[in-house]
Structure 1
Amino acid sequence: MKHVRVTVAFPPAYRHPMHQFAVERDDVSDYRIVEWYPVGDGSTTLLLQFSGDADAYRERIATVDSVEAHHVADGPGDSVFVYAKDTQADASGQAATDFFVPGIAVVPPVAFNDDGTVTAALVGPGEDVQAGLSALPDEMDVTVESVTAYRGHATGLGASLTDAQLEAVAAAVECGYYEPTRSGSVAEVGEKLGCSGSAAAERLRRAEAGVMAAVAERAGGVSD
């Protein structure tokens, strides 16, 4: 069984309107699907999360015809949670459903990146994963980030974090950044990640916000 991480370039014609919104807005980042449930009537119920301007998101999603129902909830810090029932049936909707072919499990979260690409983890027999990727339209370039044997994935609190955030947390733990005496610095974390200390600090801040949001949600601290 293979664990294949891919980044797929979604040209504008294949992007959901809210993905395009995230691409266009500098004040929206870390936009991702946390959970989704395809329904027999052709619609999909989704739980999404991002960091940024909740009011701007509310205003935009209210204009998307394919979104039958939605609720936007402010979380701790700049975290925002979105419930949506979507019936997207055009090119972007078809491109998304092409991933859901027999034999493939799409492991959340699915990240909608600022450059219009989508990053996802696919689990299943190698030939089924290849078949699913081959079913995507020719215009959608696929970059295979990694192929490994599947040995589990982040669950619980860690499931709310992006791969980049998980990588930053792992580097910070290795450096001793989270030790009681804090023997490591963000500069050392950045060195391990190959980025600046300020960039590492921002990744850790977002990771910490994601974990705290998950804790608050589990404790009932995110209001309806």
Structure 2
Amino acid sequence: MKSVRLTLQHGPENVHPMHRFVAEHDAFTRYWLVNWNHAHDGYNVMLFHVRGDREAYRERLLELENPTTIDVTDGDDDAFYVYVREEPGELGEQLVSAFARGSLVPIPPLEYRMDWSVRFGLVGDPADIQAALETVPDEMETTVERVGDYRGGDRTLEALTDRQREAVRVARNLGYFAVPREAGVEAVAAELGCAPGTAAEHLRKAEQCVMGRLEL
């Protein structure tokens, strides 16, 4: 059983209107699909976890032309869940067909990122994984970030903010965590497009979160 980490890049022609809305709205910092059911009645049922402006999200949902059933949870902070039942559309049907084949199991959450991409893990037989990648619609760019044996998920990573995860990912790729270190915080900051102090803060908070959850 193999696992891969994938990123599917949408463009302006095929990004879902809610994904576009969250990405272009400054009030949102997280947009994750945490569970779903591809029902047999022609609808997809999805549960999203969102961090941001609840009322703005709710109002935009109500403007969608595609028939949907919507339930947005209440709460006192900026984190909420959204239950959606909607017709998938042609692109959605193609993606479901690609990644629901044979032995494949998508690993939640699916991270809907602010650059209109979707990042997620996939486990299954290597032949099924390859077949899925080959049937992704041509209008979407597919990037395979990691390939290896499946070793289980790590819920600790879900406690990190999107920016902290991005900072750790960039730092790892640049060699910030290598011994000896191959890149400094200045290089991480340049890749993130922020000040070195900001990059260092993201890395410190991510380290504190991860280390605090380890069972030692």
Q: How far apart in 2 are the matches of 1:198 and 1:70? A: 37
Q: How far apart in 2 are the matches of 1:16 and 1:201? A: 33
**Structure-2 change in CA distance of 1:61 and 1:78 (3 Å):** same
Counterpart in the other structure of 1:182? none
Q: How far apart in 2 are the matches of 1:167 and 1:198? A: 13
Q: How far apart in 2 are the matches of 1:82 and 1:16? A: 15
How well do the aligned residues superpose, as a CA RMSD in angstroms? 3.1
Contact 2:4 2:148 (8 Å CA) reproduced = yes
Counterpart in the other structure of 2:148? 148
Q: How far apart in 2 are the matches of 1:26 and 1:167? A: 18
Unaligned runs of 5+ in 1: 170-189, 209-224
- Indicate whether 1:17 and 2:25 are aligned: no
Contact 1:9 1:141 (8 Å CA) reproduced = yes
**Paired AA for residue 103 in structure 1:** S
Q: How far apart in 2 are the matches of 1:64 and 1:23? A: 16
Deviation sequence 1:71-117 (CA, Å, 0-9, x none): 112445321211111212233x2343132222211010001111111
Matching of residues 1-224 of structure 1 within 5 Å: 1-75=1-75, 77-91=77-91, 93-97=92-96, 98-155=98-155, 191=185, 194-195=188-189, 196-199=196-199, 201=201, 204=205
Deviation sequence 1:155-191 (CA, Å, 0-9, x none): 5x7657678756889xxxxxxxxxxxxxxxxxxxx95
**Structure-2 change in CA distance of 1:78 and 1:199 (3 Å):** farther
How big is the shift at 1:152? 0.6
Contact 1:44 1:86 (8 Å CA) reproduced = yes
Contact 1:14 1:95 (8 Å CA) reproduced = no
Q: Helix, strand or coil for the counterpart of 2:95?
A: helix
**Paired AA for residue 140 in structure 1:** M
Deviates more, 1:120-129 or 1:73-82: 73-82
Deviates more, 1:112-121 or 1:11-20: 11-20
Q: How far apart in 2 are the matches of 1:159 and 1:85? A: 25
Contact 1:8 1:118 (8 Å CA) reproduced = yes
Contact 2:8 2:140 (8 Å CA) reproduced = yes
**Structure-2 change in CA distance of 1:130 and 1:79 (3 Å):** same
**Paired AA for residue 134 in structure 2:** S
**Structure-2 change in CA distance of 1:41 and 1:52 (3 Å):** same
Contact 2:29 2:162 (8 Å CA) reproduced = no
TM normalised by structure 2 equals 0.73
**Paired AA for residue 198 in structure 1:** T
Contact 1:61 1:67 (8 Å CA) reproduced = no
Q: How far apart in 1 are the matches of 2:100 and 2:23? A: 24
Contact 2:163 2:202 (8 Å CA) reproduced = no
Counterpart in the other structure of 2:212? none
**Paired AA for residue 19 in structure 1:** H
Deviation sequence 1:45-86 (CA, Å, 0-9, x none): 111012111111101101223342111124453212111112
Q: How far apart in 1 are the matches of 2:67 and 2:32? A: 17
Q: How far apart in 1 are the matches of 2:78 and 2:66? A: 26
Overall identity of the aligned pairs, in %: 36
**Structure-2 change in CA distance of 1:123 and 1:76 (3 Å):** farther
